[in-house]
Structure 1
Amino acid sequence: MPIPPLTGAILSGGQATRMGGTDKGLVKVNGVPLYQHVLARLRPQVSHIIISANRNIEEYQKSGYPVFSDSMDGFNGPLAGILTALENSNTDWVLFSPCDTPLIPDDLADRLWNNRGNQLAAYADDGHRAHPTLALLHTDLITPLRRYLLGGDRKLMIFLSQQKATPVDFQNSPDAFRNINTLDECNNWNEQK
């Protein structure tokens, strides 16, 4: 089945506590901000791009793409950014990636779309662990997600389970989901490349 138009959403709104509070998406890897590596992988797979960020908005706007801050105050974590991206999407489906996963698969959209079944959500699983922020979600999930957050819940996997989201097998590309969480990991990555 052909993939419909998708909006790609880069989640850059976290507090990056393991990076000492440094804005993770703007940390440079091989001289390029981390989120730009994700952007380069996401761009060919989608029709539109939006960025979820809660600080350094002007820096992210230099990408030329719309930047949105969390629409609900006091909700830390990826679900708040996911809700905001769904609310601001130009398309019915949104492909999500965190800003700290620079090697996302070139076929992420295709595989999530074609293996989602009839569900409104699908997420990547590399056979060792789930990667719920690498996901494809339909905008029909806006209302249940807002309700979930207003109920005080924050756990992304619980929300996806409640929505009967489909885990999609990416066992053949485990390195694609390597993420950078600390400045040491960033420096090691720079040295490896």
Structure 2
Amino acid sequence: IEAYAERTPHVFADARQWQGLGPLAALSTAASDVRLTTADWLLIVPCDTPNLPDDLVITFLMDAQDYPATAAFYAETDAQAHYSIMFVRPQLLQSTVDYLYTGMRTLRGWLEQQHARPVHFLDEAAFANYNSPQDMEPTS
């Protein structure tokens, strides 16, 4: 947490009641951050996906302009949906609290509840996640 905090003030541990409940716990904790809730959009990406496309934000913004009534988007490729890479109106974060209290914990389910739209990207490799330094080593 300290290393990330050197880069941005928007770093915090999951709230006590959400610890161990996965990525939605972080979104529920972030829902109380006033600085985030006053932004127009929030880009959410996992820290283990370092090779995201250079056009990630602009592509999300273009879809947001094309679908102004939509408040949540997520990345997808021909191979699969990438629910942990999303572009949302920060005000939606409040809904994660009720969602978690129901016992549901998946990003996919929450995004479906928000009527999120997929945004298509071509390069599946750009969404690869790496959980150890060995994962980043080229394979022969």
Match runs of 1:60-99 below 5 Å: 60-61=4-5, 63-66=6-9, 67-71=11-15, 73-75=17-19, 76-88=21-33, 89=36, 90-99=38-47
Partner of 1:165: 116
Residue 60 of structure 1 aligns with an amino acid whose one-letter code is: Y
**Equivalent-residue separation in structure 2 for 1:167 and 1:191 (angstroms):** 30
Give SS of 2:125's match.
Answer: helix
The CA RMSD over aligned residues, in Å, is: 1.9
Which residue of the other structure, out of 89, 102, 116, is the alignment partner of 1:138? Answer: 89
**Equivalent-residue separation in structure 2 for 1:91 and 1:139 (angstroms):** 7
Give SS of 1:105's match.
Answer: coil
Partner of 1:151: 102
**Equivalent-residue separation in structure 2 for 1:64 and 1:94 (angstroms):** 17
**Equivalent-residue separation in structure 1 for 2:135 and 2:71 (angstroms):** 38
- CA deviation vs aligned residue, 1:9-53 (integer Å, no higher than 9, x gap): xxxxxxxxxxxxxxxxxxxxxxxxxxxxxxxxxxxxxxxxxxxxx
Higher strand share: 1
Aligned identity (percent) is: 36
Structure 1: where are the runs of 5+ without partners? 1-56
Greater relative contact order, per chain length (Cα 8 Å cut-off, separation 6+): 2
Residue 50 of structure 2 aligns with an amino acid whose one-letter code is: P
Q: CA deviation at 1:174?
A: 1.4
Contact 2:71 2:114 in 1 (8 A): yes
TM-score (norm 2): 0.82
